[in-house]
Structure 1
Amino acid sequence: MSIGNSPEDDRPSEDRIQPADDDRPSIGRALQQARVDAGLSVDEVSQSTRVRIPIVQAIEQDDFSRCGGDVYARGHIRTLARAVGLDAEPLLEQYGDEHGGRPAPTPATPLFETERIRSEPRRPNWTAAMVAAIVAVVAFVGYTAFSGGDSDSSQQQAAEGSTPATSKPTTTKPSPSKKPTDPKPDPTDSAIAAAPADKVTVKVNASDGRSWISAKDHNGRIMFDGLLQDGQTKTFQDNQKIDLVLGDAGAIKLYVNGKQIEDEFQSGQVERLSYTKGDPEVG
């Protein structure tokens, strides 16, 4: 396809053929005669020059209207002359004499040489895109791992509960509307030996195996309810009375108000006991 040309049909326009004003053969006749002398057909010239067949035929009949302008016409004349072995300069001078001299120069690249074959559009570079995507994924994973490690270390530090030496302990003031409850610390063995006379103190020692126990104060509030493992000890204290339930009394040794209870409980036996300030006698 010749650039800048859109023929309406394959026949040259006879009304545009310029008659020769001198004895020189016309441009089209000179090109045609040279082609015939070279033994070339119109198809062969068209294939070698990339100028379409209708345009070659029109130029050989001195019809330059299909060229799309003087610039393109001169380019086609030069190309066809080169293909059939003619010197293009006399033909170009003759064209200038017949069509108003040389055309004004144009800044564009001469597109009249031959019909260019368009190169195929560049396909996207999928390899580069894949490499970029992989790099982005690796960077994201690295950033996530790095950030996660920092958060884990900070969480671990918070879990360890380390506090600065200069920090002041927080103090809570008791509410004036609530009556303070009686403290029930776990007294040591020495404290049990010197148990206060105005309280009832009971020490439970799972010396021969584990046992489920339950302890309540004189108001029926649960002081402990759970499994006492082998070797564990629990101590309870109240102002008036302590009620005990021993799931396996044979595994328990009891100390009431500093004195050991000498009762022989059977293994697997469930005992319900109550002790007051004046014991050690089973209530």
Structure 2
Amino acid sequence: MPGKDDYYPGPPGSVLHDARMSAGKSVLETAEALNLLNSYVEALENNDYSRFNSPLFARGYIKSYARYMGLDEEPLLKDCDRICRREEDNKDQTPTRPQGIAKAPGNAPLISALLISIFLWCVAIWVFGGKPEPELAINVLAERFAPLSAIKVEPSLGEVLLGSEGDELSVETPISQHSGPAQAAELKFEFVEAVWLELRDFQNNIVVSGVQEKGEKLRFDVQGPVTISLAYWPAVISEYNGQKIELKSLVNSNAVRVQVGEL
């Protein structure tokens, strides 16, 4: 048995392991003799003191293990203390993150930029495109064609010779048939077949009148609401300020006269 002043090379675990192997004892035999778990014996031989609640437990187990193997426990306990101090020093030097402060993920700038972009997009939609689309009003008129302008009778030759003030030949000045203010209107027409069309603006002025050929496309910028007369509306695709003029559910005849405007 080594004396009190003997020095054991290597850490305590290696010394205990070599002593056990030299004595021909297994881990199980050693654990039973020391009344320890197999894992505790292995932890002592591996210098893994983290398996124990306190370094004091490790010191006690090493002391018992050394006596069981007939070794001087003092050098082993000193090495145990040295290892424990080194582990404590390493723990003290390890920087700790302040509690309650979470580290921002690496993609935080990307997420922030995405959220800002979504916010700006919503604001732009609300400012520039948030207004509701005006509702298109279509009023079907009873008369399919505009009434002819009233023509006053010319004075007779006798009335002229006698200096009579006869009625002058005149045509009625167009008068708006629409209530409410005028509105800027863009009219588009596309003709699938040859169709007669008459378009009148807000002041009842004729914008276009006549037969439009198949495949022809027309566009007008006028003051609305407008009056549209069509001899065969199913062959015409028409729009008012980008909204399609739907007549199918409103009329039961192919020839129609309608007033169209926005509410």
User: Do both share a fold (TM > 0.5)?
Assistant: no
Which structure is richer in relative contact order (CA contacts within 8 A, separation 6 or more)?
A: 2
- In terms of Rg, which structure is larger? 1
Q: Which has the higher strand share?
A: 2
TM, length-normalised to structure 1: 0.27
